Amino acid sequence: MESARTPAAGTARAQLTERDLELLAFIAEHRIVLAYQVRRFLGASSSVAYARLRALSAAGLVRQRKALYGHPSCYQATSQGIGAAGRSYRAQEIDYGRLQHDLGLASLWLAARAGTFGPFQSLISERAMRSSDASAANALGKASTAGAPAGADQYGYDDSRQGVRLGGVGERGRERLHYPDLLLVTPQGKRIALELELTSKGAARREKILMGYAFDRKIDAVVYLVRDLPIGRKIRDSARRLGISDLVHVQLIKGLPRPMGPSRQPSRSAVRRPQEQAR
C-alpha cells in the first residue's frame, strides 16, 4: 500500500485543494460512502458533489463501485487516495455482509459532526482506533508474556490502547479487542462510545462486549443506536443483568437509513445528548 510519503501520494496531494483533501479524508475515514453523504459533507448540491467525485476518481484517488444492482453507486478511497489523505489504512473490498452497517457509519459520523449528539472536542472513527492500536503494536513488537505492555500501570491497564479489552487472544496471538463504531470526546474530556446496532448479536457476544466496556476506565458512557425496539430491549436487559445500566444507554433512531437508500439525518429531538447521560 502506498503511504502519504510515497512520490505518487505526494504528487496527488500537491494537486488537490484544501477542500479536496478534506473530502478525501472523509471518504478514507470510512470503508464506503454514497454520493448523498458526500453532498452532506460538502454542504453542496448534487452536481457539485458528483463533480468532485468524478475529479477524484479520474485522479485515481477514489473508485466508484456498483455494490448492488439497481441501487446507487458507492465510493471508496484507493490506496493512493488514502495515502494522499494522510491515513495509513488499507484499501478494502466491499464486505457485503457489513454493507448496510458500513454505510450507516458514514451517516453516523455526519450526524455527530453536525452536533446531533451535542458538542464535541473530537470524533474518532473505528478505522482510526484500529489503525492507532495496530501501529503501536507493530512499533513495540510482540509483548513479553511475563510483563505488562508499555504504558500500563501496576495492574496491567494500558491507557494508550484504543480498543476495549475482551479477554483472551485473537488473530496473531494478540489480545481480543472491541472497537466502538465512533468515539466522541466531549469538551470536558468525557469519552462516549457510540454503537450502531442494526442487527441483534447473540447474548453471549453482546454481554462479553458490555463487560469489556464495564471494565474500561477510559469509557464514560456507551450509547447504542438502534432502529428496532426489540434490539434495544435485548441490550437493556443484558446491561441490567450485568449491573451496568448506568453506563449503557439505548436510543431509538427513527431516521436511520434503510439498506442502500437515502437517509435523513436524525433530528436533535430523536436522540438525547450522550454527554448529559455521562454526567
pLDDT score, position 94: 86
Q: SS3 of 212, please? A: helix
pLDDT score, position 123: 95
- Could you tell me if 270 and 255 are in contact, meaning their C-beta atoms sit under 8 angstroms apart? yes
pLDDT score, position 140: 65
Tell me if 265 is assigned to some domain.
Answer: yes
Q: Are 269 and 203 contained in the same domain?
A: yes
pLDDT surpasses 80 at 279? no
Determine which of 49-58, 84-93, 161-170, 270-279 has the lowest per-residue pLDDT on average: 270-279
Q: 38: domain CATH number?
A: 1.10.10.10
- Could you tell me if 136 and 195 are in contact, meaning their C-beta atoms sit under 8 angstroms apart? no
Instruction: Identify the band that residue 9 occupies on the pLDDT scale cut at 50, 70 and 90.
Output: low
pLDDT score, position 74: 92
- Could you tell me if 108 and 180 are in contact, meaning their C-beta atoms sit under 8 angstroms apart? no
Tell me if 157 is assigned to some domain.
Answer: no
Q: Are 186 and 57 contained in the same domain?
A: no
Q: Are 44 and 130 contained in the same domain?
A: no
Query: Could you report how far apart the first and last alpha carbons of the chain are, in Å?
Result: 43
Instruction: Identify the band that residue 260 occupies on the pLDDT scale cut at 50, 70 and 90.
Output: very low
pTM: 0.80
- Show the domain range for 27: 7-94
Tell me if 183 is assigned to some domain.
Answer: yes
Tell me if 236 is assigned to some domain.
Answer: yes
pLDDT score, position 206: 96
Which helix (DSSP H) or strand (DSSP E) does residue 34 occupy?
A: strand 33-34
Cell of 62: 477514489
Q: Are 181 and 48 contained in the same domain?
A: no
Tell me if 70 is assigned to some domain.
Answer: yes
pLDDT score, position 192: 97
- 154-162, Cβ contacts within 8 angstroms, sequence gap of 24 or more: 157/217, 159/217, 159/218, 160/136, 161/133, 161/136, 162/124, 162/129, 162/130, 162/132, 162/133
Tell me if 105 is assigned to some domain.
Answer: no
Q: 226: domain CATH number?
A: 3.40.1560
Give the bridge partners for 34, in sequence order.
74
Q: Are 66 and 136 contained in the same domain?
A: no
What's the rounded mean pLDDT across residues 237-250?
A: 97
Domain count, the chain: 2
pLDDT score, position 276: 53
- Quote the CA–CA distance of 241 and 255 in Å, as a whole number: 29
pLDDT surpasses 80 at 23? yes
Question: What does the buried/exposed string (b/e) look like for 128-160 if buried means 16 or more CB atoms within 10 Å of the residue's CB?
Answer: bbebbbbebbeeeeebeeeeebeeeeeeebbee
Closest listed residue to residue 221, CA positions, set 251, 198, 177, 257: 251
Tell me if 234 is assigned to some domain.
Answer: yes
Q: Are 138 and 235 contained in the same domain?
A: yes
- Quote the CA–CA distance of 272 and 279 in Å, as a whole number: 13
What's the rounded mean pLDDT across residues 158-176?
A: 78
Tell me if 87 is assigned to some domain.
Answer: yes
Q: Are 75 and 25 contained in the same domain?
A: yes
Closest listed residue to residue 94, CA positions, set 63, 56, 140: 63
Closest listed residue to residue 86, CA positions, set 188, 178, 5, 184: 5
Give the bridge partners for 250, in sequence order.
224
Instruction: Identify the band that residue 273 occupies on the pLDDT scale cut at 50, 70 and 90.
Output: low
pLDDT surpasses 70 at 148? no
Q: For the segment 61-89, what is each residue's pLDDT rounded down to a tens digit? A: 999 988 776 678 899 999 999 999 999 89
What's the rounded mean pLDDT across residues 247-257?
A: 80
Q: For the segment 93-102, what is each residue's pLDDT rounded down to a tens digit? A: 888 888 889 9
pLDDT score, position 65: 86
Q: Are 32 and 139 contained in the same domain?
A: no
Q: Are 180 and 263 contained in the same domain?
A: yes
- Could you tell me if 248 and 232 are in contact, meaning their C-beta atoms sit under 8 angstroms apart? no
Q: Are 69 and 131 contained in the same domain?
A: no
Q: Are 137 and 82 contained in the same domain?
A: no
Closest listed residue to residue 198, CA positions, set 181, 212, 184, 177: 181
Q: Are 15 and 82 contained in the same domain?
A: yes
